Amino acid sequence: MGFNKVYKTADEALEGIKDGMTLMLGGFGLCGIPENSIAALVRKNTRNLTCISNNAGVDDFGLGLLLQTKQIKKMISSYVGENAEFERQMLSGELEVELVPQGTLATRCMAAGYGMPAIWTPAGVGTEVAEGKETRVFNGKEYLLEYAFEADFAIVKAWKGDTMGNLIYKSTARNFNPAMAIGGKITIAEVEELVSAGELDPNQIHTPGIYIHRIFQGEKFEKRIEQRTVRKAI
């Protein structure tokens, strides 16, 4: 008998996430954010979380909702420029922040999935990022030692998924989601459309189901544009 990965709701899928845990959350800007899962975390009122995410959403969307309720203790991110509440909490000392170069953030996620304890990267050498960290010279160039992330849960968003956990991401949503899907001790996927096993084209699958422990179909998804740019009428 196969292991059932399908959960009816976000609340059920997030069972076991407790205060003080470390979470990876997919998304880039406002694209590919696991918004149903974030809403469930708000309802659960899980606190003192360490969140690993490329960015912190905006004030009323994405991780911004968890910042509003002060459920996040520490943010590990690459870009945080669109969230006024994030800025306020960081400057006031309420929120611990670790800024990580974007490529390093992605590679530390992948290293966790590959079973690698650490990586060597030139990004951050000679900057504040390197303070207190080990460096080493390879072929005449200095590299910085960065450790793989250790996340209790990874939470990702995909366009389509099947009951075995295979995932397909759509367009820009194929950002940090694939890297984080392989990096969590337990990975939860929320999808816009959930289909039976065998319905997805194997050649189109981005994340194999072996990495996914829980999957559910979200109830609603909001399609936002972070910065709307249009041409002037001619």
pLDDT at 40: 96
In the 3-class helix/strand/coil scheme, how is 25-52 assigned residue by residue? ECCECCECCCHHHHHHHHHHCCCCEEEE
Do the beta carbons of residue 165 and residue 189 sit within 8 Å?
A: yes
Mean pLDDT score across all residues of the chain: 93
Reported in sequence order, the residue ranges of the chain that DSSP labels E, i.e. its strands, are 22-25, 49-52, 72-77, 96-99, 118-121, 135-138, 141-147, 151-162, 167-168, 184-195, 214-217
Q: Residue 232: pLDDT band by 50, 70, 90 thresholds?
A: confident
Residue 87 scores a pLDDT above 60: yes
CATH number for the segment(s) 10-117+148-217: 3.40.1080.10
Whole-angstrom distance, CA of residue 22 vs CA of residue 14: 13
DSSP state of 207: B
Length of the chain: 234
Q: Which residue ranges make up each domain of the chain?
A: 10-117+148-217
* Element of type H or E holding 103: helix 102-114
> Is 0.85 topped by the overall pTM?
yes
* Bridge partner residues of 188 (DSSP): 155, 214
pLDDT of 210 higher than 90: yes
Q: Quickly state the pLDDT bin for 225 (edges 50, 70, 90).
A: low
pLDDT tier for residue 224 given thresholds of 50, 70 and 90: low
Is the CA virtual torsion 15, 102, 110, 124 positive or negative? Answer: negative
Give 91's contacts (C-beta < 8 A, 6+ positions apart): none
Residue 228 predicted with pLDDT over 80 = no
Per-residue pLDDT, averaged over 48-73, amounts to 92
Which one is predicted more confidently, 170 or 232?
Answer: 170
pLDDT above 70 for 91: yes
Task: Say how many C-beta atoms besides its own lie within 10 A of residue 20's C-beta.
Answer: 11
Instruction: Give 100-147 pLDDT, tens digit per residue.
Output: 999 999 999 999 999 999 999 999 999 999 999 999 999 999 999 999
Confidence bin at 1 (pLDDT 50/70/90): very low
Q: Are 218 and 192 in contact (CB under 8 A)?
A: yes
Model confidence at 59, pLDDT cuts 50, 70, 90, reads confident
Which H or E run contains 13?
helix 10-13
